Amino acid sequence: MSSEWVELLITYDPLEAEMIKDLLESGGIPVVLRSSKVSPYPVNIGKIGEIKILVKKEDKETAEEVIKGSEDIPDPHYS
């Protein structure tokens, strides 16, 4: 049975995306970062710069709690 990946949040900051990924993975929650960015062009305009942070559907609630409980990460805007 395959789990469905759902969008946890969207950020435009690659560093923030990595911090969130590391935080969640250290808590045992698998994370996928999906970016529309086409390298080598460092463009952060509109949707091109967005990084979607995906987690498995059954982990979403836990992931949100982990992020809310973290002092290091600014309060994300949930979609």
User: Can you give the pLDDT at residue 79?
Assistant: 43
Give the separation between CA 67 and CA 65, rounded to whole angstroms: 5
Evaluate whether 63 touches 29 at the Cβ level (below 8 Å): yes
* pTM higher than the cut 0.85: no
- Residue 51 contacts residue 35 (beta carbons within 8 Å): yes
- Residue 61, pLDDT > 90, answer yes
